[in-house]
Amino acid sequence: MSNLKTITVTVNGKHYTRDVEPRLLLSDFIRHHLGLTGTHVGCEHGVCGTCTVLFDGESVRSCLMFAVQSDGHEVTTVESLGDIDNLHPLQEAFMEAHAVQCGFCTSGFLMSLIPFLEENPDPTEEEIRDALAGNLCRCTGYQHIVDAVKLAAENMAVQS
């Protein structure tokens, strides 16, 4: 394509310079150009929250942004959290509380919750439910996710 734009973006601490079409969605850039497929795409119209990533530390829906908007910014995806043998406390709590079923929406929940727990390390159940309301899950009915967030908050408080 003739109208490619060169962007430089920091994703999970690593710098990437890529030529992209202006219309390329940030979600597609992350998944298909950078190969970071832990971020999933559920609706492509900004409702389900599955594609949530951190943009300069704030959770955003990557399907509602263009890749070119990330030029010069910092994006953080689920791959930045723990790894399989060393889970992040939030991931550990999701496993412990059985907050994952099909696992498709999970990354979006995690990336919504990371800044939430930073801002509110000791949330009430009602605050947790409010924080989760921007992410849809069709498998769990949310109860075990709520349990996981409570557990994560407790464990992170002990660790810090």
Partner 1 sequence: MTKKYLGQRITRNEDPRMLTGQALFVDDVEIPGMLHAAFLRSDYAHARILSIDVSAACNRPGVVAVYTAEDMGDFWKPGPLLVPAPRGIEGAFFHARTQIPMARDKVRHVGEPMAVVIGESRYLAEDALADIVVDLEPLEAVADLERALDPDAPLVHDDMESNLGSFVPQRKGDYEAAREQADLVIQRRIVIDRGAAAAMENRVLVAHWDAKSQEMTIWDTTQAPIPLRNGLAGMLGLAEHQVRVIAPFIGGAFGPKIMMFQPEEVLLPWATMKLNRPIKWIEDRRENFVATTQERGQIHDAESALTKDGHILGVKDVFLHDSGAYDPYGLTVPLNSQNHVMGCYDIPSYYSELKMVFTNKMIVTPVRGAGRPQGIFVIERLLDIAAKELDIDRAELRRRNNLQPDAFPHNHKIIDQAFAEFVIDSGNYPATLARALDMIEYEKFIKEEQPALRAEGRHVGIGVVAFIETTGVGPYEGARVTIEASGKVSVATGVGTQGQGHFTAFAQIVADQLGVDVRDVHVVTGDTAHFHWGTGTFASRGAVVAANAINAAAKGVRVKVLKLASKVLGAPEEELELADGMVRVADIPDQSIGLGELAVLANPMRGAVEPGSEPGLEATDYFGPQYGATANGTHAMILEVDVETMMVEIKRYVVVEDCGTIINPLILEGQVHGGVSLGIGNSYYEQLVYDDNGQLLNGSFMDYLIPRSTDMPPRIEIGHEVTPSPLNPLGTKGAGEAGAIPVPSLFAQAVEDALYDYDLEVLEMPLSPNRLFELCYQKGS
Least distance to partner 1, CB of residue 72, Å = 24
Residues 2-31 close enough to bind partner 1 by CB under 8 A = 21, 23-24, 28, 31
The C-alpha atoms of residue 147 and residue 21 are separated, in whole angstroms, by 42
Among 11, 54, 65, 110, binds partner 1 (CB under 8 A): 110
Kindly report the number of other CB atoms within 10 A of residue 3's CB atom. Answer: 7
Task: Pick the stretch among 68-76, 81-89, 114-122, 150-158 that binds partner 1 (CB under 8 A).
Answer: 81-89
Backbone φ and ψ of 55, nearest 5°: -120, 110
Choose which of 75, 113, 132, 151 interacts with partner 1 (CB under 8 A): 132
Q: Does 125 bind partner 1 (CB under 8 A)?
A: yes
Residues 152 and 110: beta-carbon distance below 8 Å: no
Nearest to partner 1 of 117, 145 (CB atom): 145
Taking CB under 8 A as the binding criterion, the range among 3-11, 67-75, 77-85, 116-124 that sits at the site for partner 1 is: 77-85
CA distances from 123 to 55, 81, 91, 113, 156 (A): 23, 21, 17, 11, 12
The secondary element (H helix, E strand) that includes residue 141 is none
